């Protein structure tokens, strides 16, 4: 009798399980509702954070925190509910949406509403602290980051540079305790969603396992490291000539304040110190812009013109009405350049404190790359409205910026005639000072942060580990002794604002792959570094084919659509800089390579 009862019970249990097992139709319905809800909250959040970034007050921070908290709560809830469909065989597109839903948040929050709220408030306060940050040399001489960047790009006084560097980095120590709490809370959220920690969650967003992605990054770094070492060796020797061995070690790391900006992440501003003779190819883009009386909005018009020359539609009228182009005189704003897609359709904007200079002209082309990408994939479902991976999003505008050649500047009327010289080294060196010098910086920020998330780096050694990594990857050292009373990572916007950074390293390699493919499609023949595909509708059509895919397919599919390749590879970058590498190695004979 007992056996019969047990059998009946098992049959009932199996019947009940069959009745409750989810179906593909239910999964599709769940996802449709989830995407609608997330899209509505994304628009609300974009509006709130736009205001917060442009009017930094206690009230706007609170409003932004509310919007972020609501979106975080909804995403966390939906990600948890989506687990009901684990193991269900779904069509590939639907399965991809479920995967991406769980990877939506860069700051996964705990389920506990009070903890979630605490985390979002900390996040907005950290970004607000950065945006308000100033260094006051005297009570009447307070400098924000825009002013500090400008002075450090031009000053050749090592004492002044040291003072500015120390002054800016002093904004960060008050963030340290809150940052550690933010890490703990977001890690709790990541674990509740089934990830080891936030770093593992971030690394899961590349259509491969976290371990495979880490190995791929190391492969790419080893490809480009010899070129970086050659550049570092050459620059260090020239800085020794400029400042003397008491300021710059002839065989050690380079002081972080001497390389042209507060973070030593791009070195282009020190090009005049490197002793190259004037080339008949040489020109000063900043001077060209000023000679034409180009203002901030006019610079953006040039950027738009590049994309329209490829066949893209002009930016909407609201872009020109709603963007922030210059720093207001009456309030604090987050001046870090960014591109915005407020409604996931056509409300595109940029936010920049534009200065009329070559550096900002290039940055504008980069930011507009985001906007044109955003509009290209606007017809995809909400969860596919993103770059193939985040490195793609950064690389789009950078590939356009590579095509800012003398030929391009001549075609748009900024340069009277194209220089006829055959020596490419000065221009290649300028490019390398920004693009090659940036690569280890682009890599190390998340290498540091992933170890923070995993617990390998603890709050007790945040700063020491930061400088150990900067030394390891970049050969850079602080201008003054640092301690754990400092918190130098948070003097960089992306750390304070919790923006993943490996995307910029990937973009620094992808941009050359994109650029080479676009040059080939335009029919260009010749040295890669002299190509511009401005005006090529054929290149634009192929470009758009990749852009409109968004994140609907694994990124190798998107890469293949433009380049014919399925692996991120530094071969195009090394081809571009090959003449420079040969020249640098000749200049470096007898010098110690490395530090």
Backbone angles phi, psi at 417, to 5 degrees: -150, 155
Which position among 34, 118, 190, 336 bears the catalytic label?
336
Which position among 266, 394, 427, 474 bears the catalytic label?
394
168/156 Cα distance (integer angstroms): 18
Cα–Cα distances (Å) from 89 to 288, 515, 585, in that order, read 60, 39, 56
Which position among 366, 377, 385, 501 bears the catalytic label?
366
Q: Are 264 and 476 in contact (CB under 8 A)?
A: yes
Q: Is 504 an annotated catalytic residue?
A: yes
Q: Is 548 an annotated catalytic residue?
A: no
How many CB atoms sit inside 10 A of residue 384's CB? 19
Q: In sequence order, what are the residues at sequence separation of 6 or more whose Cβ sits closer than 8 angstroms to the Cβ of residue 561?
A: 542, 545, 546, 549
Collapsing DSSP to helix, strand or coil, 438 comes out as: helix
Neighbouring C-alpha atoms within 13 Å toward the C-beta of 423: 11
Which position among 184, 337, 538, 578 bears the catalytic label?
337
Residue 96 C-alpha from the chain's centroid: 24
Burial of 57 (0-12, 13-18, 19+ CB in 10 A): middle
Q: Is 393 an annotated catalytic residue?
A: no
Q: Is 370 an annotated catalytic residue?
A: yes
Q: Residue with structure tokens 């922030």?
A: 324
Collapsing DSSP to helix, strand or coil, 292 comes out as: coil
Q: Residue with structure tokens 């971030």?
A: 202
Q: CA torsion sign, 187 to 191 to 197 to 200?
A: negative
Which position among 266, 367, 385, 474 bears the catalytic label?
367
Which position among 504, 515, 534, 576 bears the catalytic label?
504
Which position among 304, 370, 401, 521 bears the catalytic label?
370
The full DSSP string for 501-512 is -HHHHHHHHHHH
Q: Is 169 an annotated catalytic residue?
A: no
Q: Is 218 an annotated catalytic residue?
A: no
Q: Is 302 an annotated catalytic residue?
A: no
Q: Are 363 and 261 in contact (CB under 8 A)?
A: no
Q: Is 367 an annotated catalytic residue?
A: yes
Question: Facing residues of 141 across strands?
Answer: 138
Which position among 169, 232, 393, 494 bears the catalytic label?
494
| Residues acting as catalytic residues | 336-337, 366-367, 370, 394, 494, 504
């Amino acid at each position: 009798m007992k056996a019969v009862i047990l059998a009946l019970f098992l049959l009932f249990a199996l019947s009940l399980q069959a009745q409750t097992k989810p179906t593909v139709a239910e999964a599709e319905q769940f996802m449709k509702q989830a995407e609608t809800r997330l899209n509505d909250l994304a628009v609300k959040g974009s509006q709130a954070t736009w205001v917060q970034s442009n009017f930094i007050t206690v009230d706007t921070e609170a409003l932004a925190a509310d919007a972020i908290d609501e979106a975080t709560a909804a995403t966390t809830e939906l990600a948890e509910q989506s687990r009901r469909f684990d193991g269900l065989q779904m069509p590939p597109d639907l399965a991809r949406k479920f995967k991406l839903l769980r990877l939506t948040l860069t700051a996964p929050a705990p389920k506990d509403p009070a903890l979630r709220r605490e985390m979002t408030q900390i996040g907005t306060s950290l970004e607000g602290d950065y945006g308000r940050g100033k260094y006051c040399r005297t009570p009447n001489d307070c400098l924000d980051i825009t002013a500090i960047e400008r002075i450090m790009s031009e000053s050749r006084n090592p004492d002044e540079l040291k003072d500015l560097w120390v002054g800016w980095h002093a904004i960060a120590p008050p963030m340290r305790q809150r940052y550690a709490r933010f890490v703990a809370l977001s890690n709790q959220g990541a674990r509740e969603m089934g990830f080891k920690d936030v770093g593992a969650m971030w690394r899961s967003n590349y259509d491969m396992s976290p371990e495979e992605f880490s190995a791929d990054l190391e492969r790419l770094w080893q490809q480009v490291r010899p070129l970086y070492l050659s550049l570092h060796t050459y620059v260090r020797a020239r800085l020794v000539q400029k400042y003397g061995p008491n300021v710059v070690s002839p065989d050690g790391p380079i002081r972080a304040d001497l390389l042209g900006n507060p973070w030593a992440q791009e070195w282009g501003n020190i090009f005049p110190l490197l002793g190259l003779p004037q080339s008949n190819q040489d020109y000063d883009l900043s001077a060209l812009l000023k000679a034409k009386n180009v203002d901030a909005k006019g610079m953006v018009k040039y950027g738009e013109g590049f994309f329209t020359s490829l066949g893209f539609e002009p930016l909407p009228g609201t872009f020109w009405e709603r963007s922030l182009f210059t720093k207001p005189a009456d309030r604090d704003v987050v001046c870090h350049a960014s591109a915005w897609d407020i409604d996931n359709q056509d409300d595109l904007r940029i936010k920049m404190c534009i200065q009329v200079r070559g550096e900002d002209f290039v940055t504008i082309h980069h930011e507009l790359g985001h906007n044109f990408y955003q509009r290209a994939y606007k017809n995809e479902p909400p969860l596919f409205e993103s770059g193939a991976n985040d490195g793609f999003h950064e690389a789009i505008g950078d590939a356009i910026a590579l095509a800012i050649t003398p030929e391009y500047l001549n075609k748009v009327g900024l340069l009277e005639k194209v220089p006829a010289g055959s020596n490419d080294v000065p221009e290649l060196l300028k490019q390398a000072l920004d693009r090659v010098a940036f690569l280890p910086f682009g890599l190390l920020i998340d290498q540091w942060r992933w170890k923070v998330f995993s617990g390998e780096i603890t709050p007790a050694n945040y700063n020491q580990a930061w400088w150990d990594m900067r030394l390891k990857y970049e050969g850079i050292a602080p201008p003054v002794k640092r301690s754990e009373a400092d918190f130098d990572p948070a003097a960089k916007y992306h750390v304070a604002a919790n923006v993943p950074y490996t995307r910029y390293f990937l973009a620094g390699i992808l941009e050359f792959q994109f650029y080479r493919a676009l040059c080939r499609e335009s029919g260009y023949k010749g040295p890669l570094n002299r190509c511009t595909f401005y005006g090529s509708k054929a290149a634009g059509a192929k470009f758009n084919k990749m852009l409109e895919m968004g994140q609907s397919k694994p990124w190798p599919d998107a890469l293949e659509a433009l380049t014919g390749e399925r692996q991120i590879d530094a071969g195009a970058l090394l081809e571009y800089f090959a003449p420079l590498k040969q020249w640098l190695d000749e200049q470096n004979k007898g010098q110690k390579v490395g530090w």
